[in-house]
Amino acid sequence: MSKVPTTVITGFLGAGKTTLIRHLLQNAHGRRLALIINEFGDVGVDGELVKGCNEDSCPEDDIVELANGCICCTVADDFLPTMMKLLDRPNPPEHIIIETSGLALPKPLVKAFQWPDIRTRATVDGVVALIDADAVAAGRFATDEAALAAARAADPMLDHESPLEELFEEQLGCADMVVLNKTDLVEAGEVERVERIVASETRPGVKIIRANHGAVDIAALLGIVAAAEDDLDSRKSHIDGLDEDHDHDDFESFVAAGGEVTDLDALLERLGALITQHDVLRIKGMVAVAGKPGRLVVQAVGPRIQHFYDRAWAPSEERRTQLVVIGQKGLDRQAIKSGLALVLGASAA
């Protein structure tokens, strides 16, 4: 019996993983796909955005959401049972796609494919790391070498790596292919500089391809045949040699909720101010706008805020606004919720 190929799509918060997957589903060319989505936060946003993209290739029953924390920390409890259910189906999928949380370490997930119940039935076809070119160009993930050299000169014992830098290195170090996304937001010369930064963190031979809006041909991403679970030693990690258990205590998330928003411009302006003031990494969610039949999707990465209507609210749905706020540990939740309360149509809970 041939193994079911599985593609792991990793990448930091807001890199465009869900947009990439929507593109894959809409251009599946008849392949029967299943999708496992893992989110950091209590409200599943990404799963909502891909449902209905292509009912023939990936019906809603084949989209599984895991929202109990990062998949790399819940392999035994969440991921393995989910994989077994997909593989045990009378007509299993031809290819499984896993979208990890933006905070997940890919190597523990790849290692899970060595488990006896999985390794004879599924294989990691490839690990694809999606990188936000604009964020790297702005220095939000990669180390500023000049600043690092100055800091080390002042304090040789300094541990220079931030949690963001470690995640950037982990995701690139495990990748079989890198998609440099959002290159349309970066000047040509800067894209080349970002590519050099990214290449310095990848293994020899890993291809880097450029993309805008996650538009990558499915033939380029599926069918890498890396069998990554058999090649773990070449994928260096900060957790190598440490206890298998790890956590994400450096990050936290919460949900700000409210009713219908009457002034969308005021909401966007307030979000921008709060992101800057509190150094928020990511905001994403659904907004109910008064007088509009469509559901508004809000996606904020650092100072960039995007919004679009994805579909009409269903008659059975409550028109309610829910925004997931993600940042490094120490976020002033009460200040952020209070700052949003006046524009969310009801008290931000």
Task: Answer whether residue 20 shows pLDDT above 80.
Answer: yes
What's the rounded Cα separation, in Å, for the pair 319 and 316? 9
Q: What is the amino acid identity at position 104?
A: A
pLDDT of res. 77: 59
Q: What is the amino acid identity at position 160?
A: H
Instruction: Classify 236 in phi/psi space as left (phi over 0), alpha (psi -120 to 50) or beta.
Output: beta
Average pLDDT, the chain: 79
What's the rounded Cα separation, in Å, for the pair 221 and 178? 10
Helix H or strand E encompassing 26: helix 17-26
Residue 87 is encoded by which pair of tokens?
């593989």
Measured CA angle at 140 (ends 136, 141), to 5 deg: 70
pLDDT digits (tens, 9 = 90+) for 42-64: 444 444 544 555 455 545 666 66
Q: Mean pLDDT throughout 300-305?
A: 79
Transcribe 207-266 into DSSP letters. EEEE-STT---HHHHS-----GGG-GGGS--TTTTS-S----TTEEEEEEEES-BS-HHH
pLDDT of res. 26: 84
pLDDT digits (tens, 9 = 90+) for 305-345: 888 888 888 888 889 898 888 887 788 888 998 888 878 86
pLDDT band at 154 (very low <50, low <70, confident <90, very high): low
Predicted TM-score (pTM) of this structure: 0.70
Helix H or strand E encompassing 310: strand 304-312
pLDDT digits (tens, 9 = 90+) for 118-141: 999 999 999 999 999 988 888 876
Q: What is the amino acid identity at position 105?
A: L
Which position has the token pair 């499984």?
96
